[in-house]
Each structure stands twice: as C-alpha cells, then as structure tokens.
C-alpha cells in the first residue's frame, strides 16, 4: 500500500516577490508603474507650481472672453465679438473640412496611381513612379508653400477681370472665377427655402442645419431605396425566368424625377459670382489657402497610399489572376472583382495611419494662413491670451479625439471587409 | 500617444521652470552674449544687411544693452521671432529681451507677465494700398481683402475698425512681413495693414514705392518698446535705463562725435552723472561707471539711431513726428539721471 503525501504547503514569503519567477515580472512591473506615476506627478506638480509662481494659474475662464479677431473662412456664423471657444470651434470645423476633403482626394488619387503603377504600359507606369517618388520624398510643408506660391503668383487678381480691356475672364459660361484669392464657384440657392433649424441656442457650438438640405437628403435616400427594390425585383425575375428586364431607365427616372420636383418646389437656382468692388461676391469662395493645403496634402498622402495599394495588389498571388482569366473575366473585372477585394485586407490597416497623418499634417495650415484649429486656438487665441498650457493641452485633446475617431471608423470598416475565415 | 502628452507637458514644464529663474543680468554676463529677440526681417527696424550683420532701429537697442552690460556691442545673438512666437520665446527664457516693434498694452504687461521698459517708437496702425486702386480713405475699403500679420494687436484693431465703421472685409492672415509683401505685391490682397512705420519700411523695399500710398487714417495707438520678463527687476532696470540713456543723451547733446571729450567731464552735472564721471549710477545698476558711455557709443544717441536707420535721409523716410524730444514738441521724455 502506498501512501500519498501532500506536497508541503508553501507559505508566501516576501522574498518570493523577487526570487520566484511566478511573481518576479509582476513585481518589476508594479515598481516601474509606481516610478512612472511619480515622474508624471512630479512633472505635473512642477508645471502647476511654476505657473503659479509666474502668476499664471491654469484656468479656462478666458474661453468665454470675446475673441476680438476675425476668421475669413467660417462655415458657421461668427463675428469678432464671439468667444474664444466659438473661434476654436470654427477652427475645428475648418480642420475637419480640409481633412475630409484631403482623405477623399488622397484615396481616389492614391488608388488610381497605385493601380497604374503596375500597368503594363511602360510610360504610364514610369510617370506614376516619378510622381510617387517626387511627392513622398519632399516634406509636405514645401508642397503646401509651393502650391500657395503658384496660386498667388500665376493666377490673375480680381482687378484683372474689371473694365473694358480686362486681361482675365471667367470660365465655364461666366460661372467660375479663378483668381489669386481663390476660386469662386456658383452656389446653390433656394428661393422658397424651408429655413434652418437652430441647434444649441446661443452657446459656442450653436449651428444651423438647413431644412432644404435635409429634404434633399431624404428624397435622395428614398430614391436610392426604391432603386434597390427595383434591382432586387429584376434579379428575382432573372433567377426565375432567365430574362433580365431592362431597368436602367426606370432607375434613372426614380433618381431624377422626384429630385426635380423637389428642387422646383424649393425654387432651386444657382448664385453666380459677380465682380463687385474689390472682390467677387456671390457664389462660394474657395480660398486659395484651402485649395493649396487640400491639394498639397492630398497629393502628398496619395503618394503613400499608392505604394500601399501597390503592395496590397502584389500581395495577391498570381494564381488568382490566372484563375480569373481562366473563368473568362476581363482584366478590368479581374482587378475589381477578384484582386482588390482581397487586397483590401492588406491595404486598410496602413491606410488608417495615412489618414491620421493627413489630418495631423493639416496643422501646417498656418503656413498659408488657413485658419484651422491650430491657427485659431493654438495661434491667435494662445497669442492674445497668453494661455499657452491650456491652449496646447486642449489642442492635443482635440487632435487625439479626431485621430481616435478616424481609427475607430476605419477599424470598423476593416473588420467588415476582412476575409471571413471558416 | 500617451508618451507624447507627457513629453509635451514636460516641455512646457521646462519652459515654465526656465521662466521662473531670476538674475538675467548674471546669466547674460556668464554667457558673454545677449540673446535679443527681433523681427524676422523689417528693413530699418531689424534686418540683416548684405554682410549678414543685423542692422536697424530695434537692433540698435539690443546692441546698446549688450554694450552696457558686456562692453561689446557685437556680443548679441539675434533671434528672429514672428508675431506669434515672440512671447513664448521671451517667457521661456530663450531670449533675454525682446525688441521687436511690440505694442505696449495692458494685457501684455499685466496678464502675459511681461515688463515693458519704455517706448522707443510711438506708432499707430495704418493702411497701404496700391495707388491704382484709387482709394483715398480707409472707410472706402468695404469688401476689400486685407493682409494682416497674425498674433498682433493690429489684427484686433482691424476687426474693431471695420466693425465700428460697419464695413466688411476679408482678412488674410500671414506669419511674416516678407509673406505679406509677396501677397500684397501679387494682388492677393488689396490692402496691407500694420504699424505705419512698418508700412513705410516695407514700401521702401518695393521696386516702385511711388505706386503705393499710405491712407491718412491711423486707427490705433501703438507705443512700441523693448520688453523683458516680469519679475526680474534688476534686468528690467538695465534695459529701461539703457533706453533712457540713449534718449537723454540726445536731449543733453551727447553724440557719438563728442562723447569722448564729454566723458572727461563737463559743466553739466547730469551729463557727468550719465557718462559716469560723477556719482555712482552705474554701480547702482550693478554695472560699472561707464555703462552709458558704451551704450551711446555703440550706435549714437536716440536721434542718431533714428536718423541712421529710419530717418528722412533713409529710403524709409520717417519724420520724427511724435518721436521728437519733448523739448521739440514730441513725446520722448527720459526721466532725470539723478
């Protein structure tokens, strides 16, 4: 008969924290964490103490003071009597505008260039190589400044449009004016407008939403929904009978007719820019600071995106192309239906960081006088109030929030398109 | 991301720590060089000449202070600053003093924690337009595009002026005078506005200065002067009285030509006290007896500095106007050296 003895019960001893491999790494991590927190606490208290000694305690009351400066590009109504917070909000919207426009353009150009760089056409492929290498190897700030200088120096001033012997004229049936102060394009106007909804009363983040825009979006959404129904009906009929009914004119009608009716009801017309006094008035004014920044940021980022797209495509084995050819798919369809969907899972993660880069690079806006949030909150407001710490911290928080939001959206999209493995 | 937040805070903490340190006089002496903040380039006030030597009206103040403290008018490290970066540079201790067409205002003095040590140029904000525009008054500028240096008092005055006159304008914010000049000359803005002296200086560098006019309206008071950090009074005194010495020297008739003989002693006790042959004023400042002599020798008295850099004989061609001595009907008035 054998007797089993329990192994001697181990008592926890303090020395085990260091000598027992089960606990050692935790011990070291806890010590490192405490050290790190002490360092952070020291830095923060040092900052606060020094600012107190300087007579500038950390406080955010100045945000309610009138900003007293004007901002040229404002998506919402703003005057120099509005608060610093309002000015920061206007700046934030300007940052978002250039970031969104930039990301869209960069993606379109980048994908196009990336695909074309793999083209069998020697000339096209080489031109794209030159584009990519030129743009990604020169700092983006230089591209921004260059774009601005070209716009200012090469385009005519508004006064060149004036008089009998005008040296410049408007384009596209006198509807677009390209000047060295920006491009003036026709704007959408409604003579029987539904008005606006005012949100957030009189606070700093108040804004108006046009009911006309909402109506247009609703009708557009309804049309698209109806078009999908028609397409589904056509597909069902094709499944059942083998005949696919011709539906493109039905779809076109569904898309256009309700929209035309709505626009007529609202009294839609275009407002054309017109030379009045010193400048063009009427129309939408796209300032050359916006155009320069948008162009430079998009082309610069597109060069990186092109390389990512190319890498993604090259990561798909040649067998896929050959298999698609064997099925009789033409090269264009092979790319669209077989290669790109698989390449996306390689492309999207690095694409996220390029979107983030573009957004953060938009803070170079001040080089061309574009009033983004760095120009308002981190520029004039900081300068006029002398609240460096508060402004910089808030600015960091804003960029962090924007970046994390972009990441969240892109990660959600990435999860959607990644290959479902069984 | 967390790391960059920490580093950012650490940087600011470092800046703040630097700012709290007093004893700038000793720092400057130990370093053997004065760090002086100037503009990025405004001919007549502060701009490097063809040899890369900084020259100008504001530069002369820096050189006078360096001569008084260190005995060498060339022991200056000029730090170009923009309207936006100047205050951070001074507050962080990157520069010892700022002599950059900076307007003395209440909030800069009290809230931004700086100390203005006097006024070396009484200025006001003006407008420059091309003659071809046919504008004769700033009130006719409704709808105009205006180039404006961002982060300056002129930006705020501009907003107030147009609002109170109920006319609209389109601001084009720019960082430096050079950029403003480029945009203005290309016609990307109709008007350039800044201190009238700056406009005159900028216009002097144009190919055809005669094609541009300054409008008659002066819309603000802009007393420009050197400033130092708040709290270091010894250093503030040195800068303040060096500037006063230059102004007093003109009033008392001390010039770079006669300073040698006057230093030996004159009948006027105030001149003697200023130049150190009588009394212990230099010692009270923590400097030696001949500090003011050296300051005046570095570029002449206030009048000589004015005439050489921005006066009517120069391309900039500014009249003394408000900047004449009080005895000549101007505002310059140095307190007595006693």
CATH number of domain containing A312: 1.10.3720.10
Report the pLDDT value the prediction gives residue B98, as an integer from 0 to 100: 95
Q: If contacts are CB pairs under 8 Å, which of residues 258-297 in chain A contact chain B?
A: 276-279, 281, 288-289
Residue B176's closest CA among B196, B215, B202, B197?
B202
Domains and CATH numbers, chain B: 2-122+224-328 (3.40.190.10), 125-220 (3.40.190.10)
Instruction: Identify which of B113, B144, B174 has the shortest CB distance to residue A278.
Output: B144
**Contact (CB<8Å) B187/A157:** yes
The arithmetic mean of pLDDT across residues B9-36, rounded, is 70
A321 within some domain:
yes
Biggest CA–CA distance in chain A, Å, is 121
Backbone angle region of A205, left / alpha / beta, with phi > 0 → left and psi within -120 to 50 → alpha: alpha
Report the pLDDT value the prediction gives residue B244, as an integer from 0 to 100: 95
The arithmetic mean of pLDDT across residues B317-338, rounded, is 92
**Contact (CB<8Å) B171/A152:** no
Q: Specify burial of residue B168 (Cβ count, 10 A radius: 0-12, 13-18, 19+).
A: middle
Q: Which residues contact B118 (CB under 8 A, 6 or more apart)?
A: B225, B226, B240, B243, B244
Segments of chain A scoring below 70 in pLDDT? 1-3, 419-422
CA-only gyration radius of chain A, Å = 29
Chain A and chain B share a number of CB contacts under 8 A equal to 143
A125 within some domain:
yes
Q: Is residue B92 pLDDT above 90, yes or no?
A: no
The arithmetic mean of pLDDT across residues B283-305, rounded, is 93
Q: Is residue B328 pLDDT above 70, yes or no?
A: yes
Give the integer Cα–Cα distance in Å for B6 and A38.
Answer: 12
| Best residue of A39, A46, A50 to probe chain B, by most B CBs closer than 10 Å | A50
A389 within some domain:
yes
Give the integer Cα–Cα distance in Å for B65 and A124.
Answer: 64
Report the pLDDT value the prediction gives residue B178, as an integer from 0 to 100: 86
Give the integer Cα–Cα distance in Å for B335 and A389.
Answer: 38
Report the pLDDT value the prediction gives residue A422, as an integer from 0 to 100: 58
Report the pLDDT value the prediction gives residue B317, as an integer from 0 to 100: 87
- Distance between A67 CA and the closest CA of chain B, angstroms: 9
The arithmetic mean of pLDDT across residues B303-331, rounded, is 91
Report the pLDDT value the prediction gives residue A196, as an integer from 0 to 100: 81
Q: If contacts are CB pairs under 8 Å, which of residues 76-105 in chain B contact chain A?
A: 83-84, 87-88, 91
Instruction: Identify which of A71, A180, A386 has the shortest CB distance to residue B111.
Output: A386
Instruction: Identify which of B9, B133, B145 has the shortest CB distance to residue A43.
Output: B9
Instruction: Identify which of B9, B112, B156 has the shortest CB distance to residue A68.
Output: B156
Report the pLDDT value the prediction gives residue A420, as an integer from 0 to 100: 66
Binned at pLDDT 50, 70 and 90, residue B63 comes out as: very high
**Contact (CB<8Å) B8/A396:** yes
The encoded tokens of residue B114 equal: 């700086």
Q: If contacts are CB pairs under 8 Å, which of residues 351-380 in chain A contact chain B?
A: 366-367, 369, 371, 375, 379-380
Neighbours of A219 (CB within 10 A): 16
- Domain span including residue A367: 84-141+287-417
A88 within some domain:
yes
**Contact (CB<8Å) A43/B6:** yes
Report the pLDDT value the prediction gives residue A309, as an integer from 0 to 100: 93
A248 within some domain:
no
Q: Specify burial of residue A198 (Cβ count, 10 A radius: 0-12, 13-18, 19+).
A: exposed
A53 within some domain:
no
Report the pLDDT value the prediction gives residue A38, as an integer from 0 to 100: 96
- Distance between A160 CA and the closest CA of chain B, angstroms: 10
Residue with the two structure tokens 């009716």: A261
Report the pLDDT value the prediction gives residue A281, as an integer from 0 to 100: 83
Report the pLDDT value the prediction gives residue B56, as an integer from 0 to 100: 93
φ, ψ dihedrals at B37, nearest 5°: -85, 130
Mean pLDDT of chain B: 89
**Contact (CB<8Å) A369/B230:** no
- Distance between B212 CA and the closest CA of chain A, angstroms: 16
Give the pTM: 0.81
* Chain A residues within 8 A of B173 when measuring between CB atoms: 72, 366, 369, 371, 375, 380
* Chain A residues within 8 A of B83 when measuring between CB atoms: 383
Cβ proximity of B157 and B219 under 8 Å? yes
Q: If contacts are CB pairs under 8 Å, which of residues 154-213 in chain B contact chain A?
A: 155-156, 158-160, 162-163, 169-175, 182-183, 186-190
Give the integer Cα–Cα distance in Å for B126 and B143.
Answer: 18
Give the integer Cα–Cα distance in Å for B187 and A422.
Answer: 65
- Crossing angle (nearest 10°) for helices A288-314 and A84-117: 40
Three-state secondary structure along A99-157? Answer: HHHHHHHHHHHHHHHHHHHCCCCHHHHHHHHHHHHHHHCCCHHHHHHHHHHHHHHHCCC
A307 within some domain:
yes
| B134 interface with A at CB cutoff 8 Å | no
Cβ proximity of B202 and B44 under 8 Å? no
| B329 interface with A at CB cutoff 8 Å | no
A393 within some domain:
yes
**Which secondary structure element, helix H or strand E, spans residue B168, and what is its range?**
none
Residue B36's closest CA among B77, B73, B67?
B77
Binned at pLDDT 50, 70 and 90, residue B22 comes out as: low
- How many independent structural domains does chain A possess? 1
Q: Which residues pair with B194 in a beta bridge?
A: B126
């Amino acid at each position: 008969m054998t007797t089993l003895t329990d192994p001697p019960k181990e008592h926890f001893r303090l020395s085990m924290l260091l000598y027992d491999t089960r606990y050692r790494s935790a011990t070291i991590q806890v010590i490192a964490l405490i050290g790190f927190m002490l360092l952070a606490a020291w830095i923060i208290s040092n900052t606060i103490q020094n600012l107190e000694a300087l007579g500038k305690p950390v406080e955010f009351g100045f945000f309610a003071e009138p900003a007293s400066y004007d901002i040229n590009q404002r998506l919402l109504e703003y005057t120099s009597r509005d608060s610093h917070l309002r000015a920061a909000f206007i700046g934030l919207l300007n940052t978002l505008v250039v970031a969104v426009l930039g990301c869209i353009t960069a993606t379109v150009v980048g994908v196009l260039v990336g695909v074309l760089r793999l083209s069998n056409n020697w000339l096209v492929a080489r031109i794209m190589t030159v584009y990519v290498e030129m743009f990604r190897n020169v700092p983006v700030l230089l591209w921004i400044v260059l774009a601005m200088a070209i716009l200012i120096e090469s385009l005519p001033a508004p006064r060149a449009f004036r008089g009998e012997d005008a040296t410049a004229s408007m384009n596209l049936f006198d509807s677009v004016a390209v000047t060295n102060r920006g491009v003036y394009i026709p704007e959408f106007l409604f003579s029987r407008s539904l008005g606006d909804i005012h949100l957030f009363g009189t606070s700093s983040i108040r804004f108006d939403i046009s009911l006309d825009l909402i109506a247009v979006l609703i009708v557009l959404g309804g049309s698209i929904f109806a078009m999908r129904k028609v397409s589904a009906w056509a597909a069902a009929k094709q499944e059942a009978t083998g005949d696919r009914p011709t539906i493109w004119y039905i779809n076109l009608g569904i898309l256009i007719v309700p929209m035309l009716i709505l626009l007529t009801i609202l009294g839609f017309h275009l407002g054309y820019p017109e030379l009045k006094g010193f400048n063009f008035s009427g129309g939408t004014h796209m300032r050359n600071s916006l155009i320069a920044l948008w162009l430079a940021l998009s082309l610069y980022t597109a060069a990186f995106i092109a390389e990512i797209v190319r890498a993604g495509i090259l990561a798909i084995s040649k067998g896929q192309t050959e298999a698609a050819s064997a099925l009789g798919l033409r090269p264009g369809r092979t790319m669209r239906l077989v290669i790109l969907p698989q390449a996306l899972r390689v492309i999207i993660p690095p694409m996220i960081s390029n979107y983030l880069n573009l957004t953060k690079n938009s803070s170079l806006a001040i080089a061309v006088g574009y009033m983004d949030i760095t120009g308002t909150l981190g520029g004039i407001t900081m300068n006029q109030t002398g609240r460096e710490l508060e402004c910089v911290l808030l600015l960091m928080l804003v960029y962090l929030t924007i970046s994390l939001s972009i990441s969240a959206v892109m990660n959600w999209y990435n999860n959607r398109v990644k290959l479902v493995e069984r | 991301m967390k790391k960059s937040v920490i580093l950012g805070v650490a940087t600011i903490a470092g800046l703040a720590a630097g700012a709290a340190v007093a004893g700038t006089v000793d720092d400057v002496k130990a370093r053997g060089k004065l760090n002086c903040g100037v503009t990025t380039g405004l001919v007549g006030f502060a701009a490097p000449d063809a040899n890369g030597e900084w020259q100008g009206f504001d530069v002369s103040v820096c050189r006078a202070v360096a001569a008084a403290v260190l005995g060498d008018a060339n022991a200056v490290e000029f730090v170009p600053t923009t309207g936006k970066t100047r205050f951070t540079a001074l507050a962080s201790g990157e520069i010892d003093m700022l002599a950059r067409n900076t307007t003395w205002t209440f909030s800069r003095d009290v809230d931004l924690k700086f100390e203005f040590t006097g006024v070396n140029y009484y200025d006001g904000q003006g407008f420059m337009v091309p003659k071809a525009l046919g504008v004769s008054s700033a009130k006719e500028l409704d709808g105009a595009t205006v180039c404006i240096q961002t982060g300056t008092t002129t930006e705020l005055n501009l907003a107030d002026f147009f609002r109170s006159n109920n006319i609209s304008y389109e601001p084009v914010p720019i960082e430096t005078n050079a950029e403003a000049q480029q945009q203005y000359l290309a016609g990307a803005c109709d008007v350039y506005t800044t201190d009238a002296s700056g406009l005159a200086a900028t216009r002097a560098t144009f190919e055809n200065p005669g094609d541009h006019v300054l409008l008659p309206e002066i819309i603000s008071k802009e007393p420009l002067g050197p400033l130092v950090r708040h709290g270091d009074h010894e250093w503030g005194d040195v800068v303040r009285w060096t500037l006063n010495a230059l102004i007093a020297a003109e009033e008392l008739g001390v010039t770079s030509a006669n300073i040698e003989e006057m230093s030996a002693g004159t009948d006027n006790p105030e001149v003697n006290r200023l130049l150190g042959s009588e009394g212990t004023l230099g010692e009270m400042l923590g400097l030696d007896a001949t500090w003011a002599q050296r300051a005046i020798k570095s570029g002449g008295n206030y009048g000589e500095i004015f005439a050489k850099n921005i006066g009517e004989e120069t391309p900039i061609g500014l009249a003394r106007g408000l900047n004449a001595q009080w005895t000549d009907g101007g505002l310059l008035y140095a307190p007595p050296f006693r």
